[in-house]
Amino acid sequence: MLYQTKIRMIEIFKNMQAVRHKFVVSQKVYEAFQQCSGDYNPLHTKVEFAKEKGFKECVMYGNILNAFVSMLIGECLPTKDVMINSQDITYRQPVFLNDELDAELTVEKIYESVNVVDFKFRFNNVNGKTVARGHIQISVI
């Protein structure tokens, strides 16, 4: 892409509204994550194990939320011409099967000269509790 076009692209992020999206950790999402990761740790697959550890049922994989972050970046921004440079996430509350999560993604900083944007995000559950939060840095490509 031409330099001038990239400059215009980065402008899009300057007045970007917060991106909001609702995700459901459905059975389909849960099984697809297992297929993708190969992770069958008992905390996520054996209800008795999860109960022993003090949870009401199996805890969902935290990295399902990182898959949702991928979708927020890949599909919900005002341009598709983006690529993730780095990201972090902190888990604060357990997520369970069929939980509805309300995601919010907001611009934190724009580095115009290198076409880079920093975002922060959080996922809230239906009780309004933040279950995870973090940061993502993207390049406009």
Residues that bind its own copies (CB under 8 A): 1, 28-29, 32-33, 35-44, 53, 59, 61-64, 66-71, 73-75, 80-91, 141
Shortest distance (Å) from residue 115 CB to its own copies: 12
Nearer to its own copies, 14 or 42 (CB): 42
CA angle 63, 68, 107 (to 5 degrees): 115
| Token pair in block for residue 104 | 């919010």
- Residue 42: how many other CB atoms lie within 10 Å: 13
Nearer to its own copies, 18 or 24 (CB): 24
Nearer to its own copies, 124 or 133 (CB): 133
| Token pair in block for residue 44 | 């996520």
Nearer to its own copies, 7 or 71 (CB): 71
Shortest distance (Å) from residue 61 CB to its own copies: 6
Short-list 43, 119, 55, CA closest to 93: 55
- Quick one: angle between helices 27-37 and 63-75, nearest 10? 100
